[in-house]
Chains A and B, each alone.
Chain A
Amino acid sequence: MDAIADRAFADTQANPHKLVDETPSSLAVVLDINPLEWRKLEESGSINLRQVVSSVIVMLNSHLSLNSSNQVALYVANSYSHGAQLIYPHPDSTVSSRFLHTPGMYRQFRFIDGSIVDQISHILSEQPETLEQLVGRDPKNQHVKGTLAGAISMALCHINKLQQSDELNALNSRIMVVSISDDSTLPYISVMNAIFAAQKMKISVDVCKLGPSSTFLQQAADATNGVYIYITQPSGLIQYLTTALFIDPMLRPIIVLPTDEAIDFRASCFITNKVIDVGYVCSVCLCILSIIPDDEKCPTCHSKFDHNLITKLKRKPKALPLKKKTKE
C-alpha cells in the first residue's frame, strides 16, 4: 500500500501541501429509490433500501464531522409519484421524534438523520397503493419519467447557488449518485447535459452502482474526474462509501482514484433509447440514431435528410456467390 501511494504522489507535478488545506466542502447525495428495482435487489438477496439509507446516513454524518463548516444535501430520484425531490435540507422539516437506536449520538446528527428518514418514509408512503392507481388504464398515458438526471441537475443548481453566495463560495462540492436502475431509465440528453454542466462547474460526480451497470454514469464519472465503483459486496457498502467514494475534491488532482478505468463510451439511440455500437448521426444536431426514421427527418431538430442519401444508406450490399454455379 505504502509503495503504491508513494509512487502516485511522486508522479504528480502538483505540490500536495499547496493544494490541500482546510477548506470546507459540501457533499450532495442522490439516492435512486425506484421501487421495482429495489424489489429486484432485495429478491436477489443483495441489499435492501433500509441498509442503503443507513449507510448513506452514516456517510453524511462522517462528512459533517470532518469539518464544522461542511455541508450535506440529499436528493431522491426515480420515485414513481414524486420524481426527484430534495430530502435534506428540507424547507419545512420539523424536529423528528426518531432516535434511530443510537442513544449516545451527537444531537445535531440525530436531527439530521431523523429528518432524512422521516422524509424518505413520507415519500414512500405517498406512493400509490396499486399499479392501477399509478398508471391508470390508458395505455398511451402510462409513462413514468426517469428522474435521476433531474436530481443531479437539482444538486448542481444547489451547488451553483452555494458558489454564488458570498460566504460559501469557497466551498468545494461534489455529488455522489447511488444508482440501482439501468440505463434505459436514464434520459440520455438530460444526463449528458448534466455531465457537461458538472464538468464546467468542476464538480466531480461519483457513482455508487448497485444492480445493472450503467454506461452513462460511467461516462459521467469519467468526464468529471469522479469515481465510478460497481458494488460487488453490498454488505460492505459503508466501506465503499467512506473510502472509495469519500475523496475530497481538493485531493482529486493528486491521488489515484479507485475508479473503474474500463469505460464504455457508447451512446444511446435517440429513438429507441438503446445503447448502440454503430449508428447514424444527424449532420445538423449530431443526434444519434440506430434506425433511419420513416419520415426521413431528424427526430430532434426536424432537419430533412437527403432522400438520395437515405436510399443509398438503405440499399443492402450485394456480393458475388462464392462458387460459380455450374450450368445445368
Chain B
Amino acid sequence: MSPITGSAIYKKKAGMITVYEEESPPRILWKCIDAGVAPPVEIMLDSVVTLQASRKESPKMLLVIGIGKSPDNKTDVTFAFNSRVTMDNVKTVLQQTIARRKSAAAADASLAASANSDGSGASGTSSPAPMDTHTEEFLSGMLDENNLLKNLTLQQKLLRDNPTLMKTFAEAVIKSGLSPEEFWSTRVHLLRSYAIQTNQKRGPYNVLSTIKPVASSENQVNVSVTREKIHEIFQQYPIVRKAYDDNVPKMSEGEFWSRFFSSKLFRKLRGEKVNLYDRGDITLDKYLFYDPDYDGEEEDADIDKLLEEKKEEDGLRKRRNSEQLTSAKKKVKLFTEQGKEVPKFIDIRANEEDDSGKLGNGPDITMKENQNDELVSVMRSMNRLSRRMMQNIKDNTNTEQEFEQELDLKDLENANTVEYNQLEYTQRSNLSSNILPADLLEKFNSQSPLNPTPAIYDEYIKKLKSELNEVDLTTVYVDNKKPLLDTYKEVLNVIKKNAKSQAWTLNLEATVEKQDVDVDLPRDKLESLRLTHSTSVEFLRHFWLHYNSIGTSSPSTNPNFRAELLQLKKLYTSITKCLERVQANVSQMDEADSKLGKLLMEPLIKSLTSALQSYEAAIVG
C-alpha cells in the first residue's frame, strides 16, 4: 500500500499532500510544488482534535484540521483541494487513523488500570524499584501461550506497529475468513517477543547526565524534570536529598530546582569541570564542601525533622545497611567470576595487588602523589555513583547459597565421570553406492552365460584401453578458438552475476528496493502478487499444521480432533480460492507481464495444488 497522496492548496500555494498512515506516529505532510516558496507543513495525527470538510454539494473543497490539546484550544490548518475524490480519500484516511488511535488509547488505559488493580499497587510512582517482582510475575503470566492468544489488546498493538503483518492479517483474516485464533496460533513467538519488548523496564542509569538544560526563545534556560527523575536523583545523590530537606520549606520546590540546576553543585555532580569563578548558587554551593561520600547516614542537624522521620529513617537505614552488605558480597562475587579457578574469597593470593607492602599505592591511581586533582575527583565521583546505583538494585538470587558454594573446595571433590552411550555405526549407504548402473547389472544377470551377445561394457572397455595411446597436448587449444572464447564469456558472466549478488548482500539496507528493481513488473502488480503470495502461504501453513496434526493423532488422543477435521475442510476451500486468486492475478496482467508472473507464482501454484491433492488423497470413503 502506497501512502495516500494528492494535490492540495495551502495558504494559496499549490502543493502535494501525503498521508503517512503506516508510520508511528502517523503524520500528514504538505509540500509546496515550488520548493522554497513555502515551507512544508507537517501535522502529527496524534495532535489532531477536530476534522471538518466542506459538504458534498458545496463548490468549495476545504478540509480543516484542528490541532491542539482539546477542541476548545486548537489551531486550524486549512487545505483546499481541486478534486473531490482526493479530498475524500484524505479525509477517510484521517478519520480512520484518528479513530484507531483513540480506541487504542482507551484500550491502553484499561490495560494499565487492570495491571494496577490486580496487584497491591507496587508499581505506583512512589517506589519505581528497578526490579519489580510484581511486574515479573505479571509478565510471566502474560507470556503464557493461552494468555497471549487471549490478549486482544496486545495483538492490536502489534498489528498497529507492524504494517506488513497488518496486511497479511487484513487479507487472511478480515477478507478471507481465517479465524484470528488460527492466525495468531502460528505467531505466538511474535506476540511473546512483542510483549517482552513493550514491558521492558529500564535499569538504573546516571540520571543527572540525562538532564540537559534547553535554552528557550526568551533567553531563559529551561530544564524539565519528572517526578521519577527527582526520585532517581535523590537515590543516587543523597547530598541533593539533604540539600532539599534543609531548604525546601524555606524556598519553594520550583525555586530549589532552578537554583540547583544553575549551581556549581549540579555541575560538579555531573562530572563537569567547575571553575572557581563560575557563577553558582550561594545557598546550594555550600554543599560542595560536604563529605562527598555522604550517604545520608550522619546525624541530621535539624532535630525536629529527625524526630519526625525517625521511625522511617530507622527502617531505611536498616535496609541500607543490609544492602551495603550485599553489595560488598556482590563485589567479592564479581571478582571471583573473573578469576577462573579459585574463588577470590578463599584465594590466598587474591590480595596481592592490594598488598601495600609490595607495591604501595601503585595500583590505585587515586592514591598517588602529584596526581591530577581533576582526574581523582572524577574517578571518585564515578565510583560513588556506581556504588549507589548498585545499591539500588535488588536481586532475588539466594546469596547465602552462592557464598556457601564459593567456600567449597572444588578440587577436593570426586571427579565426575562422563558416561557415553555406545553406538554401533554401520554405513549401509556406502555399500549401496554401486557405480555400475543397475539396469546393466540386471540385464547381465538375466542373460544366460552361454549367450554370445557381449555387454556394453565389454565393447567399450576395448576402446577405452587404447584411448591414451596417442595423446597430443596441442589439440586442447589449436583450431579451437570459438569454444574458448564462448567459455571465456560464460565464466565472465558468472562472475558478473556473483559480484552483483555479493554487492547486494553487502548493502543489506537496500535489499527491498533491489528486489523490486530486479523483477521487471509494474510496482502495483508486484505488490498485488506479493499480497496474494503471503496470504496463500498463510493458509498453506495452517493447512499443513492441521493436516499433520490429524495424521498423527486420533479422536481418542486429541480432544480437538473433530474440530480440526472441520477446520481442515474449511482450509481446503480456502486454498482452492487461493489458487483461483493466483490465477486471476496472473491472467489480469499483460501478455509480457503474465509470463513473468506465471514464472514467479509457479512454486506457489505447485504447493497449493500439492496441498489440495494431499487432502483429496486422504478423503475417507
Q: What's the Cα separation between A4 and B475 when bound, in Å?
A: 33
> Looking at the complex, which of A16-24, A118-126, A197-205 is the stretch in contact with chain B?
A118-126
Judge whether A243 is part of the interface by a CB distance below 8 angstroms: yes
- For A239, give its contact among B428, B488, B547, B568 (CB under 8 Å): B488
A53–B468 CB distance below 8 A:
yes
Q: Are the CB atoms of A53 and B471 closer together than 8 Å? A: yes
Report how far A238 CA is from B615 CA in the complex, Å: 53
Of A63-71, A130-138, A165-173, A218-226, the one contacting chain B is A130-138
Q: Are B460 and A36 closer than 8 Å at their CB atoms?
A: yes
Cβ of B307 within 8 Å of any chain A Cβ, yes or no, is no
Contact check, A188 vs B429: say whether CB atoms are below 8 A apart.
yes
Q: With both chains docked as a complex, state the minimum distance between the C-beta of B187 and any C-beta of chain A, in angstroms.
A: 24
Question: Which residues on B sit within 8 Å (CB–CB) of A185?
Answer: 433-435
Q: Is there an interface contact between B428 and A102, defined as CB atoms closer than 8 Å?
A: no
Instruction: Contact check, A101 vs B467: say whether CB atoms are below 8 A apart.
Output: no
Name the contact of B469 in the complex, choosing from A121, A143, A188, A237 (C-beta under 8 A). A121
A78-B435, A124-B465 known; A303+B423 contact, CB < 8 A: yes
A100 close to B (CB within 8 Å): yes
> Chain B contact residues (Cβ within 8 angstroms of A): what range?
35 or more
Contact B506 A11 (CB under 8 A): yes
Taking CB atoms, residues of chain B closer than 8 Å to A301 are 423-425
How far apart sit A318 and B546, CA to CA, in the bound complex (Å)? 11
Contact status B468-A50, CB under 8 Å: yes
**Of B436, B471, B488, which is within 8 A of A50 by CB?**
B471
CB < 8 Å neighbour of A130 from B457, B506, B614:
B457
Q: Which B residue sits closest to A325, measured CB to CB?
A: B621
| A189-B430, A261-B498 known; A232+B473 contact, CB < 8 A | no
Residues B483 and A135 in contact, CB atoms below 8 Å apart? no
Provide the residues of chain B in CB contact with A317, threshold 8 Å: 547-548, 550-551, 614, 618
Find the A residue at minimum CB distance from B554: A315
Contact of B460 among A39, A50, A58 (CB under 8 A): A39
A residues within 8 A CB of B470?
50
**With A233-B486, A299-B426, A301-B424 as contacts: A50 and B434 at CB distance below 8 Å:** no
Minimal Cβ-Cβ distance residue in A for B553: A312
In angstroms, Cα B585 to Cα A75, docked, is: 55
Determine the distance from Cα of A131 to Cα of B461 in the docked complex, in whole angstroms.
Answer: 9
CB contacts (< 8 Å) of B425 on chain A: these are 285, 300-301
Do A7 and B429 touch across chains, with their CB atoms under 8 A apart?
Answer: no
Within 8 A of B (CB), among A122-174: 124-125, 127-132, 134-135, 137, 139, 142-146
- The yes or no answer to B441 lying at the interface (CB within 8 A) is yes
Instruction: Given the known inter-chain contacts A11-B506, A238-B476, please indicate yes or no for A48 contacting B435, CB distance below 8 A.
Output: no
Kindly state whether residue B118 has any CB partner on chain A within 8 Å. Answer: no
Cβ B464 vs Cβ A187 within 8 A: no
Q: In the complex, A302 Cα to B440 Cα: how many Å?
A: 33
Q: Which residues of chain A (280-328) have a CB below 8 Å from chain B?
A: 284-285, 299-303, 312-313, 315-322, 325
* A117: chain B residues within 8 A (beta carbon): 468, 471
Query: CA A243 – CA B484 in complex, angstroms?
Result: 11
Across the interface, which residues of A come within 8 angstroms of B480, CB to CB?
A: 235-236
Please, which residues of chain A bring their CB within 8 A of the CB of B487? 233, 236-237, 239-240, 243
B491 touches A240 (CB 8 A): yes
Query: Do A57 and B473 touch (CB < 8 A)?
Result: yes
| Neighbouring A residues of B618 by C-beta, 8 Å | 316-319
A319 near B432 with CB under 8 A, answer no
Query: Is B473 within 8 A of A318, CB to CB?
Result: no
Shortest beta-carbon distance, B596 to chain A, in Å?
Answer: 19
Give residues 245-264 of A contacting B (CB, 8 Å). Answer: 256-261
**Nearest CB on A from B613, distance (A):** 12
B559 within 8 A of A: no
A34 interfacial by beta-carbon distance below 8 Å: yes
Does B496 lie at the interface of the complex (its beta carbon under 8 Å from any beta carbon of A)?
Answer: yes
A177 → chain B closest CB, angstroms: 15
Interface presence of A184 (CB below 8 A): yes
Contact with A along B469-509 (1 / 0, CB 8 A): 11111111100100110111011101111110111001000
Q: A1-B492, A320-B566 are in contact. Are A300 and B426 (CB under 8 A)?
A: yes
- Please tell me if the beta carbons of B499 and A4 are within 8 angstroms of each other in the complex: yes
B474 touches A101 (CB 8 A): yes
**Could you say which residues of chain A place their CB within 8 Å of the CB of B501?**
261
Are the C-beta atoms of A256 and B499 separated by less than 8 Å?
Answer: yes
Asked if residues A143 and B429 are in contact (CB atoms below 8 Å), the reply is no
In the assembled complex, A54 has its CB within 8 A of some CB on chain B: yes
* Contacting pair A235 B552 (CB below 8 A): no
Q: Which of B444, B469, B502 contacts A135 (CB 8 A)?
A: B444
B502 A8 Cβ-Cβ under 8 A: yes
Bound Cα distance A31, B80 (Å): 78
In the complex, residue of chain A having the shortest beta-carbon distance to the beta carbon of B459: A39
- Are B473 and A102 neighbours in the complex by a CB distance under 8 Å? yes
User: How many whole Å from B602's CB to the nearest CB in chain A?
Assistant: 16
Which chain A residue has the least Cβ–Cβ distance from B550? A317
Contact A54 B429, CB 8 Å, known A130-B454, A131-B444: no
- A186–B568 alpha-carbon span in the complex (Å): 42
Q: Which of A51, A113, A232 contacts B476 (CB 8 A)?
A: A51
Q: Is A276 an interface residue (CB 8 A)?
A: no
Task: Using CB atoms, name the residue of chain B closest to A293.
Answer: B428
Q: Are B494 and A258 in contact (CB under 8 A)?
A: yes
Which chain A residues border B506 with CB–CB below 8 Å? 11
Instruction: Flag whether A26 is at the interface (Cβ < 8 A).
Output: no
Contact check, A130 vs B455: say whether CB atoms are below 8 A apart. yes
B1 contacts partner chain A, Cβ-Cβ < 8 Å: no
Interface residue A38 (Cβ < 8 Å from any Cβ of B): yes
**Judging by beta carbons under 8 Å apart, are B472 and A101 in contact?**
yes
Q: Which residues of A contact B216 (CB under 8 A)?
A: none
With known contacts A101-B474, A130-B457, A144-B436, A321–B620 Cβ distance under 8 A: yes
Expressed in whole angstroms, the Cα–Cα distance for A101 and B473 within the complex equals 7
Instruction: Give the complex CA separation of A272 and B550 in angstroms.
Output: 28
Question: What residues of chain B lie closer than 8 Å to A240, measured between beta carbons?
Answer: 487, 491
Candidate in A11, A131, A143, A312 with the most chain B CB atoms within 10 angstroms: A131
Query: In whole Å, how far is B548's beta carbon from the nearest beta carbon of chain A?
Result: 7
With both chains docked as a complex, state the minimum distance between the C-beta of B447 and any C-beta of chain A, in angstroms.
10
A103 to chain B, nearest CB (A): 11
Taking the closest CB of chain B, its distance from the CB of A209, in whole angstroms, is: 14
List, in ascending order, chain B residues with CB within 8 A of A319's CB.
547, 550, 565, 568-569, 572, 615, 618-620
Known: A34-B435, A184-B433. 16 other contacts (CB 8 A): A4-B495, A11-B503, A49-B468, A50-B467, A50-B468, A50-B470, A51-B475, A98-B471, A100-B472, A113-B473, A145-B433, A236-B487, A239-B488, A256-B499, A315-B551, A317-B547
On B, residues with C-beta under 8 Å from A are: 423-437, 440-441, 444-445, 449, 454-458, 460-462, 464-465, 467-477, 480, 483-484, 486-488, 490-492, 494-499, 501-503, 506, 547-548, 550-554, 565-566, 568-569, 572, 614-616, 618-621
A-B pairs, 8 with minimum CB distance? A236-B487, A317-B551, A236-B483, A187-B430, A239-B487, A235-B483, A301-B423, A101-B472
18 A-B residue pairings within 8 Å (CB atoms): A36-B437, A48-B467, A54-B475, A58-B476, A100-B471, A124-B465, A131-B444, A132-B444, A142-B434, A146-B435, A239-B484, A240-B491, A261-B498, A284-B423, A285-B425, A313-B552, A318-B565, A321-B621
